[in-house]
Amino acid sequence: MSVVLVIGEVGPEGVRPESLEAVVAGRGVADGLGVPLVGLLFGAMTGEAATTFAASGLDRLIVADDPRLVPLTTESGTAVVGAAVRDLQAGVVLAAGTTAGKDFVP
């Protein structure tokens, strides 16, 4: 395992609070395992959301800001998450317990 991955969600008012809570949980897991904590933020978002998520305790942030992800669907979201898990060799993946989080990380 090379990283712990946290999936971030952006709502109308920026990064969803549930995603920031997932970072706190992920930080404990990553520190315990001695691996980096990486965040993944995708869809269409503002730079402010990425800045907020990056500053929440992550070691690294990957942003997939692509117009093809709008509207974000279960299929496109799981494809992005799956690619990130494979590319990063994520051994642990965390997401908020929201509908989208459950779709992307079943």
pLDDT band per the 50, 70, 90 thresholds, residue 103: confident
Could you tell me the domains of the chain? 3-104 (3.40.50.620)
Question: pLDDT tens digits, residue range 8-21?
Answer: 998 888 899 999 99
Q: Contact 59/39 with Cβ under 8 angstroms?
A: no
How far apart, in whole angstroms, are the C-alpha atoms of residue 35 and residue 71? 33
Helix, strand, coil percent content, the chain, rounded in steps of 5: 45, 25, 25
pTM: 0.93
